[in-house]
A and B are shown apart, each in its own frame.
Chain A
Amino acid sequence: MKTGERIPLCNRDSSPNELYGLMFGIRTFEQSLLDLFQRGVLAGTTHTCLGQEATAVGVFSALNLELDCAFSNHRGHGHFLAYCGEAELLYLEVMGKPGGVCGGRGGSQHLQHRNLYSNGIQGGIVPVATGIALAEKLKGSGAVSVVFLGDGTLGEGAVYESFNIAALWQLPTLFVIENNGFAQSTPCALEVAGSIRARPEAFGIPTTEIRTTNVETIRNETSRCVDAMRDGAGPRALVLHNYRLGPHSKGDDNRDPAEIRAAWDQEPLKVLRERLDTTEVQLMEAAQTERIGRARERALAAPRYEY
């Protein structure tokens, strides 16, 4: 299997330092993409997960990365990196180069690596992830299937068809619903009626709702869901409230700057950093910055398609 410059992964035993390191790696990667776009190096589009790194790291550190499956959405770089750490392969993919994880065919929103998949169609991935859970259940593999959906994606009917079937057939699907406050330019209040958590609950899916940027809390809650699912308890939903710090994609942001500034006070890296040893954090950050930088430079130097 092809591989490149990688960042270290986390599991249930990873220390806060290590969790921080992975979140910092994802943040650095995402910021560098925005920078590359600004410099005109990248074409197309990208959706970064700035401010949502704790979801990626919290969820994937609770999984069995050899066994479990995940279906990610348009905002999937953090999920990908927390799953396999392959920063260089992801850079190459986003750059549309032959060495990318999908040979540059998929790009930012269409990734596939081992048991991780992503697609840029809102909602459509949810029944597919549910089918993955069905396959794993039929095979008796013990794997769970995790799928990520944003608040805006709750507008898609496919989501509810999947809730219904996952619950009817007691499939090991974990629906991670991330309410980052917005769907592109539209605030949650204009696109989601009623309660988010009541949605999966209406189908009898046990749902945990947390309003936190604490990565350890997310890891703990995900672990509880996954353990129950592995014991055959059927689907689970996790509703996570956080805030998208960056633009929806590259530069499209009409939100109140004061609101964004306030959110930076709550963001997951800051929250965790306050509890860590400053010197260790600095060492960790330096090491990650160097790794990501190496991955980026190698990807930038790699050949493009020539026709």
Chain B
Amino acid sequence: MADIRSHFVGIRSPNPFWLASAPPTDKEYNVVRAFQAGWGGVVWKTLGLDPHIVNVSGPRYGAVWGADRRLLGLNNIELITDRPLQVNLDEIKRVKRDWPDRAVVVSLMVPCEQSCWTDIMAKVEDTGADGVELNFGCPHGMSERGMGSAVGQVPEYIEMVTRWVKAASRMPVIVKLTPNITDIRHPARAARKGGADAVSLINTVSSITAVDLDSFSPEPSIDGKGSHGGYCGPAVKPIALNMVAEIARDAETRGLPISGIGGITTWRDAAEFMALGAGNVQVCTAAMTYGFKIVQEMIEGLTAWMDQGGHADLDAFVGRAVPNVTDWQYLNLNYVAKARIDQDACIKCGRCHIACEDTSHQAITSTVDGKRHFEVIEAECVGCNLCVNVCPVENCITMEPLAPGSLDRRTGRVVSPDYANWTMHPNNPSSVAAE
């Protein structure tokens, strides 16, 4: 059976599934339940200086739902821990003592002064925790006070604080990045320069989930007013995957360990993050939606997939997808694919037709010989994949590559076996012709 033990920046855990710093890791009670359920590690809910912060006493969350009210995106305006520092430190110490095989990492957010960071590092070290995570990501509330994403949005601050922390302790330091920035590579590079052992990402995306159309207050509404929150859950996974990949393939940050976070809900999501270069993963919303038990599905699903694919351990597949992430300009323009509808699977809902007809390339029939029939017109299909995405039946429509040498009936050209990208294309003014 595949070995899913994880060894991330010197921190060992029985599996790569950690709970992200958030309500699930807020206190001993939750963390013990998480460990009982099988989670490999936790990043403790972010600690700050006393006097501890306060949270709103009204709603903290807003949400976006899919069909059947499935939670797709969660938004929160919760701040860091609202408990005294010493209470948290005592609990962390106890938990680590009772659960020595699990990873216990402590998330931190204190003002941008070296003494604050040096002081708190000493206290954390005393708990016996495995490492720290610097919360430079929280986009609401704390950022107004010059912390969280206010730091994460300025690479120079990231580098500076990371350096302070590294100087204050021998513990592994993970820098948690905010996605609320134009190019994620800059903060990642800064973290590396500051000596970070790893980066973790993403923290939440600044968001307003809804507006109450009676009161005209944004949601969640606190006494008629709202404030932007941080968005997470399945909806942010694509954003997070891209940012992880960007860091994994950047020349300056390549090789920097990454803890992948953002919308991870199943073992599959986790494996995807890891294939894109994450050494382990952290989960928040999925646990907050379904409870801690989901980790069992993650552990078993990942193990089964690794067994099936012959991946003996995590290292066998971590980063395997990174070389396949490239720039648009290097995509093979000679590759031609056409949609094909499996008529036995088709339930004739017509969504592919209307999507293509109204908004794309008029390449799917609705009637053939007077009968309701949906079929791809190869001479019109540009292979865009929209029909695949709107079809309610999985694998009913597939994208079939045309074999080299066959005729693309849309362009009238024979499919070339050669690789040719935009840099070589005649329409590109700065083309460097292939021949």
Do A and B make up one complex?
no
Residues of chain B whose beta carbon lies under 8 Å from any beta carbon of chain A: none
Residues of chain A whose beta carbon lies under 8 Å from any beta carbon of chain B: none
